[in-house]
Structure 1
Amino acid sequence: MTSTFASLALDAVDVRRLADFWTRALDYRIAEEGDGIISLAPLDGYGPPIDILPVPEPKTVKNRLHLDLRANGCTGEEEVQRLLELGAVRADVGQDPDVTWTVLADPEGNEFCILGTSS
């Protein structure tokens, strides 16, 4: 027997704001809402579901687990720009300036990377 990946859980002070960001960032939809939790699912059915859970405290330290995303249908830098316009910010987690990915953070400060881009 093994475990099966069920969903990715993200904590948020502002659940609605984070759900709005990730639905637009990943082309997901709100699949379910209840008890303050918003569950997201991919529009095309491919990809893991995301559950956004309410917490009272803001994020304070670097994530130990993060998402790595790759641009689809545009260049990496175009994708970085799109995500910045949606509310992401550039993040410094100690990466070397010559890395081929860009580190961003969502509106709650959760870091994620856009692969194959230059900063």
Structure 2
Amino acid sequence: MAYDFQVTVDCTDPHTLADWWAETLGWNVEPQDAAFIKEMIAKGYATDAETIHHNGSLVWRAGAAIRHPETGRRMLFQFDESAKTVKNRVHVDIRVGEENRDAERDRLVARGAVFLWAAQQGPQSWFTMADPEGNEFCIT
């Protein structure tokens, strides 16, 4: 039996990080329904404190998600007030091909990523990077 799943990233600024990853991967930020959010507040199911304005829109403070435009695969970025302090136990690998790896590293560094190190195992090589909140990922 196959399961559908999403990757969830804890972060202190989920909407900004979702924007960064959506641009990085060429995915789309899931829209949030401001009318629904206002209705939930009006009915007492939520409070104004649970919302923020991001890029001019009312959104849930707790998180944002991005989706692959064709497959629907999803990454969720959820609020956690604690900053990242240790190495990730799970990380994302972005496959760009050896011929594109240097250019992709440079592009992402220009957008706020940090190059951590280059590594190789047999014929496979990759760059380990960190996103703007310090979450590690690899470019292969």
**Please, what TM-score do these two structures have when normalized by structure 1?**
0.80
The superposition leaves residues 45-75 of structure 1 with CA deviations (integer Å, 9 ceiling, x where unpaired) of: 1362011100111000000001111116x61
Q: CA separation in 2, counterparts of 1:112 and 1:47? A: 21
Detail structure 1 runs of 4+ shifted over 6 Å in the superposition: none
What residue number does 1:24 align with?
Answer: 23
User: RMSD of the alignment, in Å?
Assistant: 2.0
Which of structures 1 and 2 has the bigger CA Rg?
A: 2
Of all paired residues, the percent bearing the same amino acid is: 31
1:11 paired with 2:37, answer no
What's the offset of the Cα at 1:5?
A: 2.9
Gaps of 5+ in 2: 33-58
Aligned residues: 108
Instruction: Write out aligned runs for 1:34-73 (5 A).
Output: 34-36=59-61, 37-43=63-69, 45-46=70-71, 48-71=73-96
Q: Which has the higher strand share?
A: 2
The superposition leaves residues 71-105 of structure 1 with CA deviations (integer Å, 9 ceiling, x where unpaired) of: 16x6111111111112110125xxxx552110000
Equivalent of 2:115, from 62, 71, 90? 90
What residue number does 1:81 align with?
Answer: 106
Q: Is the 8 A contact 2:94 2:138 kept in 1?
A: yes
SS at match of 1:75: helix
Q: Is the 8 A contact 2:6 2:76 kept in 1?
A: yes
Equivalent of 2:130, from 99, 105, 117? 105
Q: Is the 8 A contact 1:17 1:107 kept in 2?
A: no
Q: Which has the higher helix share?
A: 2
What residue number does 2:35 align with?
Answer: none
**Please, what TM-score do these two structures have when normalized by structure 2?**
0.69
SS at match of 2:128: strand
- More divergent stretch after superposition (106-115 vs 30-39): 30-39
Q: CA separation in 1, counterparts of 2:82 and 2:119? A: 34
